[in-house]
Structure 1
C-alpha cells in the first residue's frame, strides 16, 4: 500500500562555489599555475590579464607591493553573489580581480626554467654498449631482452625461464636457458658495475671481482660477501673477526671496502627528470624582532571576466526576439560567465584563507620563527589553529599538508609545525619535536663503537625531565629513520 507523508531533514550540501574552493585550497603554489591554465582552456569567458596588453593605472594602488600580497587581518571572506548582469559589465580598469598586481612585477629569475642535464638514460647506455659488441643476431636479441627486463635499480628480477619464454613468444627466438645465462654474464660486464645482478650478494660480488684480485682486502671482502653477508648486514663484527681470524683494524678495511660498493647500480647513470621543485607559498621575514608574513605573488593571478562575453550576453539579453537557438546561446554564455566569476572568487577566497591560516600558525609559533630553534616549537594540533581562525579542522589540514613557508632559517612544510604535547616532570607541556631533537643530538654525539640503546636513551630523557616510556623512544627514533643501536655500530 502506497503512502505519502512529509518529512523534515537536515542535509549538508556543498554549493559549486564551495567545491571549487575546496579543490583549489589544497593545490600548492607549484601546481596552481597548471590548474589556472586548465580553467582558461575550458572556459573562454575567463581571461588572464598578464597575457594581454592591458596596462593598469599604477596610481590606483600606489602603496601596493607588486610582487607580494601582505596579510591584512581585516580581510574577510565575502559571500558569493547570485547572478547579476551588472557583475559582468564592470569597468576593467578597477574591479577585475588581480588588476592590483603589476603584470611586470614578477622577478625575472622566477620565470626561468630549471635546466635539466641532457644525458642518456640507464637503459640507453646499456643498449649502446650492446650495440658495440660483435655478437650474432640471436645473441643480440637475447641481450636486448635482458636489458629490457632489468628494473630501475639495475637488477634482473625475472627467472631465466621466463626470459626464454618471452623470447619464444614475443620475438620468435628459440633460445636455451644456457644461452640466456651466457648472455647475462656479458651484460653483467657492462658499466655501471653490478648491473644485471639477480640479488644484492651477486651485485656486490660483480663489483668486487672487477677490482684488483691480488689485493688481500679485496679477497677478504669477497669472502665476507660470499659466506658471511648476513653477519655483515647485521653488524656482528665480533663473529666476523673470529670466523675470518682478523683483528679490528683489518676488518675495518674490509667493511669500508664493501661500503664503497653501489647496491643499486641502476641509479648511478640515471639523471632524474622528475625534479622536485619547492616553491614556497609564504615568506616570513624578521624586521628587528617583528615577523612580517607575505604571500607568494603566484597565488594572486591576474584574472578577469572576458569583456567580449560580457558584451555578447548583453546583446543576447536585450534581443527583442529570442528563438530556441538564441535561448541556448544565452544559457551557454551565462553558464561560462558564472563559472568564470566563481573561479575568480574561489581564487580570492583561497588567498585570504591561506593568509589567515598561516598568520595564526606564525603567531602560535612566534618564538620558533624568530630563532629557528626546534626546541622553541610549541605543541600544536590542527584544532588549535582551527579554533583561532574560526574554520573547520579539514580546512586547516588542506592548507598544512601541501604548503611551504620560506623563513630566514630555511623552507618548511607547514605540516611539520604540528606536533603532540608531552608533559615534563615540572608539569610543563612541550612539543614532541623537542624530545626528538634531544634524541637526535645524543645519538649524533654517541660513541659509534658503543651506540646508545633505547633503554639508555630513555634514562637520559628522564634525567632531563622528560618522563616517557622506552616504546615511545623507539617510536620517535623510527620516525626519524634512525636504526637500532646494533645497526648504528661502527668499527
Structure 2
C-alpha cells in the first residue's frame, strides 16, 4: 500500500467565548435570563445588582431615542458606555417599582380540595371507622372531582384486619356526595350531573326530562343529535331546548377549581404604543436587569494588578453586561421592524395581519434568520391588542386570485368572524366558508378551512347547530 502526504486548506469559524455567550443569552426567556444573572452574581464578586431605590423613576422621550439609536450600533465592537456604571445609565426606568400593582402579580392562597372537604366533615358526627373510610375516599378523588375507581379497589387499600365491608364504603360514598362542591365523589359524568340535579333543581319544570337525558342519552346530547333525542324522549323543540339549558348550568368537573394551576403572568419584553400616528416599540423597564460592576472590587483591582483571577472575572463581568445590553438592543430592533411591517394589524386586528417570514425581518435589520428565530422565541410584546409572542407575527402565505397573498393568521380571523356572524340554526359548513372566502378573492380549499377551524377549537357545523 502506498501512503501519500497531502495538505488540505480549509476555513472554519471559531466562536469566541464572548460570542457564544451572546448567542446563548439571546435565546433565553426573561425568566431564564434572570436565573442566569442571579447565578453570575453569585459566582462573580465583580458583579452586583443595582438597588432599585437608587435608580431614576422617570423616563422622557430623549431616553427612548437613545435606546432606539443604540440598537443601530449592534455590530460595533467598541464600548461607548462606561460598563462599570449601573445598568440604568444605559436604559432609564419608566416607573418606580413601588408603583407596581402587587395585587396583579400575587397568587391567591386557596384551600385544597382535601382541606375543604375535611372542614365540612368536622361538623358531621362520624365513627372512627367511617372517618378513615371517607379520608381514603377523598384521597382517591381525581382532579375533576370523580371517584373513578371501584369500591373493591378502595377496600383493597385497607389492611385486612381493618375489616372494611363494601356496604360500609357505599354508605360513606353517599355521605361524601352530600358535601360541597355538589357532584363531588361521582363515579362518572352521568352520576355527577344527576347529583347536581337531585340536590339543586328538583323543582325545575324540566327536572325529570333533564334527569332522563343525563341517565340515558348523554351520548346523543354530546353529538348534538337532536332529532334522535326528540324522537327517543317524544318531546318538541321547546322542551328539548329548556332541558339543554338546564343541563348546561351543571358543572361537569366540580373539583376543577381546586386543582387549577397557579396563574403565571407573562411579563412582556417590549411595549407597543401609538406615537404621532405611528406604532412604536420601547423596552419594558421591568425586565431590564439592574446589573453593574462592583466598584469596591474594581477599585481594589486597580490598586493591585497582581490578582489575575479577579482580572479575568472583571473581564467576564464586562462581557456579560455588554452582551445583556446587546440582547435587549436586538430585541428592540427586531420588535420595531415587526411592528413597522404589521402597522395594519395594530390598527385593525388579526384580519389585517400581513404574511411575513423570518427572512423578511432578517433582511430589514441586517441579521441572520437564525438570530431572528432566537429573538422571537419566548419574547413577548404588550400592545392594545393583547400580549403576543414575537413569533406570532410570522405566518405562511396563502394566494389570492389577484396574484397577491394573505396570511394564514388573517384567514383564521376571517373564518372565526364568519362563524361568529352565522345563523346558529343554519351554521356554515366548511364548503360554504371556502366558497365565501373564494368570492372575496382568497383561494382556500375546504380541507384548509377545516384545518384552520380545528386549530381554533371550533366545532364543525353539525355540532354548532342550535335548535
SS at the partner of 2:133?
helix
Q: C-alpha displacement at 1:144, in angstroms?
A: 1.2
Q: C-alpha displacement at 1:168, in angstroms?
A: 2.5
119, 123, 126: which one aligns with 1:128: 119
Residue 212 of structure 2 is matched in structure 1 by: 223
Q: C-alpha displacement at 1:193, in angstroms?
A: 0.9
273, 285, 290: which one aligns with 1:302: 290
Indicate yes or no: 2:353 matched with 1:364.
no
Contact 1:279 1:404 in 2 (8 A): yes
Q: C-alpha displacement at 1:391, in angstroms?
A: 2.3
Q: How does 1:142-291 map onto structure 2 within 5 Å? A: 142-168=133-159, 173-213=162-202, 215-269=204-258, 274-291=262-279
Change (3 A) 1:6 1:350: same
Indicate yes or no: 2:405 matched with 1:416.
no
SS at the partner of 1:293?
strand
SS at the partner of 1:450?
coil
Paired with 1:199 and 1:13, the residues of 2 have a C-alpha distance of 62
Change (3 A) 1:252 1:365: same
Residue 305 of structure 2 is matched in structure 1 by: 317
308, 313, 316: which one aligns with 1:339: 316
Residue 392 of structure 1 is matched in structure 2 by: 368
CA offsets 1:25-45 (integer angstroms, 9 cap, x no match)? 234446644543343233322
Q: TM-score, normalised by structure 2?
A: 0.88
426, 440, 444: which one aligns with 1:468: 444
Paired with 1:16 and 1:139, the residues of 2 have a C-alpha distance of 66
Residue 447 of structure 1 is matched in structure 2 by: 423
CA offsets 1:122-152 (integer angstroms, 9 cap, x no match)? 2210121223322222221221122122222
Contact 2:377 2:391 in 1 (8 A): yes
CA offsets 1:90-125 (integer angstroms, 9 cap, x no match)? 795xx5543244579536423635344344222210
Q: TM-score, normalised by structure 1?
A: 0.84
Contact 2:83 2:293 in 1 (8 A): no
Contact 1:30 1:277 in 2 (8 A): no
Higher alpha-carbon deviation: 188-197 or 108-117: 108-117
Residue 98 of structure 1 is matched in structure 2 by: 88
Contact 1:66 1:105 in 2 (8 A): no
Paired with 1:71 and 1:437, the residues of 2 have a C-alpha distance of 35
405, 415, 429: which one aligns with 1:429: 405
Paired with 1:348 and 1:101, the residues of 2 have a C-alpha distance of 9
Residue 49 of structure 1 is matched in structure 2 by: 50
Q: C-alpha displacement at 1:175, in angstroms?
A: 2.3
Residue 325 of structure 1 is matched in structure 2 by: none
Q: C-alpha displacement at 1:463, in angstroms?
A: 1.7
CA RMSD of aligned residues (A): 3.4
Contact 1:116 1:273 in 2 (8 A): no
CA offsets 1:257-309 (integer angstroms, 9 cap, x no match)? 11111011112456x56222132222222223233221112343332221232
Paired with 1:214 and 1:457, the residues of 2 have a C-alpha distance of 44
Paired with 1:68 and 1:48, the residues of 2 have a C-alpha distance of 23
Change (3 A) 1:108 1:75: farther
CA offsets 1:8-63 (integer angstroms, 9 cap, x no match)? 6665654433443334323444664454334323332211222586x89x9xx997
Change (3 A) 1:468 1:91: closer
Q: C-alpha displacement at 1:200, in angstroms?
A: 1.5
Higher alpha-carbon deviation: 182-191 or 302-311: 302-311
SS at the partner of 1:440?
helix
Count of aligned residue pairs for this structure pair: 464
Contact 1:32 1:299 in 2 (8 A): no
Residue 321 of structure 1 is matched in structure 2 by: none
Paired with 2:327 and 2:368, the residues of 1 have a C-alpha distance of 14
Contact 2:281 2:336 in 1 (8 A): yes
Residue 110 of structure 1 is matched in structure 2 by: 100
CA offsets 1:377-424 (integer angstroms, 9 cap, x no match)? 110112221232232323222322322222334333322211111111
Paired with 1:8 and 1:187, the residues of 2 have a C-alpha distance of 79
